[in-house]
Copies of this chain bind each other. A is one copy, B any other.
């Protein structure tokens, strides 16, 4: 039976994670879940972000389900570098998976896009690029200060995530992969990405391919999101593009993500894209859909494609039945989703 580590975290994290666990328990009874106390609250209390002993314990699980960590009083970078990115790098979670669908029933912001028309997934590289932490500063705090950030890209790291994107495309209906980069300016990294993409594409004659500069892709995600199927891109571009994709499909309140080590050598981690939302925490009004969709990605990654599909379908029923603007109760949504998923 699957062993899951649960990091409920801060703010609305515990509220939405409780619903995700409820739904997992409904479709796959007997999952063994262990809670870990990490995030802003622990940092405030103990000064600890991610003790080595906890990292070792987490490594012994099949997957991690995370709610949200952070609050506005934690300095920028502490939890990001010390916890979220640390886990992505330590567990070699090189596929950062972010699906975006415009669900029937969800009012998207775009006038010309109809529900059901957008169904894309961004495969964002998770262990390289500008997220490598390579950078520094000289003469800090003086008029002579210089600060650098370095994007590191390896053929190893680039090729494996592109392979994953093509593998996902072959399992989808449209079978199309769009590479997004900025080859006309970032010529060294861009050339590496473009050549690796071409090589993997040559092995998949059944998959259609295209290339777009990141600025053009950002624009087309707004004007024609329907055109995308699978998008593969680097760590920072993926960070930006997935928030645009979330925005055009109803907001980050519905966006799920997985930080995946496809080989299963390390646990993968699944979390809603939204944050801890301290402004609405504790009131039982947070939408748990993004957490529940993240749980579906978790189930799929652990080989329970059937259970995953039932959870995803349950979300479809829930969203189709919503009245735009109507209030929701976190627990009630969780109960309904568990019900739909097992009906």
Chain A residues within CB distance 8 Å of chain B: 76-77, 80-81, 85, 107-112, 130-131, 135-137, 139-156, 182-192, 195, 214-216, 218-220, 222-223, 236, 239-244, 246-248, 251-252
Q: Given A77-B183, A80-B185: A218 and B244 within 8 A (CB)?
A: yes
> Could you tell me the distance between the alpha carbons of A150 and B240 in the complex, rounded to whole angstroms?
19
In addition to A80-B185, A244-B244, 20 A-B residue pairs with Cβ atoms within 8 Å of each other are: A77-B183, A77-B187, A77-B190, A108-B111, A111-B111, A135-B151, A139-B155, A143-B156, A146-B153, A148-B151, A148-B189, A149-B186, A149-B189, A185-B239, A214-B240, A215-B242, A219-B247, A220-B247, A222-B247, A240-B240
**A252: nearest chain-B partner, CB-CB:** B219
B-side contacts of A182, CB under 8 Å: 236, 239
B-side contacts of A139, CB under 8 Å: 155
Q: Is the CB of A76 within 8 A of B243?
A: no
Number of copies: 2
> Could you tell me the distance between the alpha carbons of A281 and B192 in the complex, rounded to whole angstroms?
32
**A242: nearest chain-B partner, CB-CB:** B215
B-side contacts of A131, CB under 8 Å: 185
Q: Is the CB of B243 within 8 A of A216?
A: yes
B-side contacts of A183, CB under 8 Å: 76-77
Q: Given A130-B151, A222-B109: A215 and B186 within 8 A (CB)?
A: no
Instruction: Say which residue of B186, B191, B240 sits within 8 Å of A218 (CB atoms).
Output: B240
Q: Given A110-B111, A146-B152, A150-B151: A141 and B195 within 8 A (CB)?
A: yes
> Could you tell me the distance between the alpha carbons of A136 and B153 in the complex, rounded to whole angstroms?
10
